Amino acid sequence: MKLLKNMAIVAMTFAAVALASCGDNNKPDDPTKEAFELYNAADDKPITEGSTIEVTSFDGSFGDPEAIFDLKIKYNHEEADLKATEVRNFDLTKYSSSMCVNGTCVPGSKDKTQEWDLGTYYENDEKQIQLHITVSKDYQKEAAEMPVELSITDGTKTVKFNVVYKYTPAE
């Protein structure tokens, strides 16, 4: 009987130690890591608050000249929905924009400011977003600058930066 009692105590102690070592799967976010990091996918350089990226390469081989800015987002914390706000500081009758998220492209509105849903991100997610600017047919002979102010947010952190598209007509 005493042996059975000792075995029960040993088994309960072992079970308690095993459960304690499992840890909590709902661990809090690491406060030393930023919630998300942004990178220019073309050169993998970090994008920080106030950065300016220039895009000068326009491709017209499939129709109207179009430039693409590739943004890479690395998410480091628990689940969150990310959003982008695009402020288009150019003539929307001459140029248009669209956003591609996870392979799905959506044309931009004709409003100066547009909010885009970038989807749900999970810890250690890395996704690429594309912002396209297209030159309308009637304005392809004019050189132009199309500045865009982008803000990416997860609801607690926001990073605002600029993308300047510089179009030079083909000769």
Note the pLDDT tens digit of each residue in 109-145.
Answer: 989 999 999 999 999 999 999 999 999 999 999 999 9
pLDDT score for 89: 95
Among 32, 6, 38, 30, smallest CA distance to 78 is for 30
pLDDT at 18 over 60: no
pLDDT at 11 over 90: no
CA distances from 167 to 32, 39, 105, 140, 148 (A): 41, 23, 22, 9, 14
Strands (E), the chain: 36-40, 45-47, 52-55, 66-75, 80-88, 95-101, 104-107, 113-121, 125-135, 144-153, 158-167
* Residues 95, 134 contacting (CB under 8 angstroms): yes
Give backbone dihedrals phi and psi of 168, rounded to 5 degrees, phi first: -125, 125
Q: What is the pTM of this model?
A: 0.77
The CATH code belonging to domain 36-167 is 2.60.40.2310
d(CA 47, CA 161): 8
d(CA 142, CA 170): 10
171 confidence band (pLDDT: 50, 70, 90): confident
pLDDT at 101 over 50: yes
The three-state secondary structure class of 10 is helix
Residues written for the chain: 171
Q: Which residues lie closer than 8 Å to 103 by C-beta, 6 or more apart? A: none
**What single-letter amino acid sits at 44?**
D
* pLDDT tens column, 21-60: 444 444 445 566 788 999 999 999 999 999 999 999 999 8
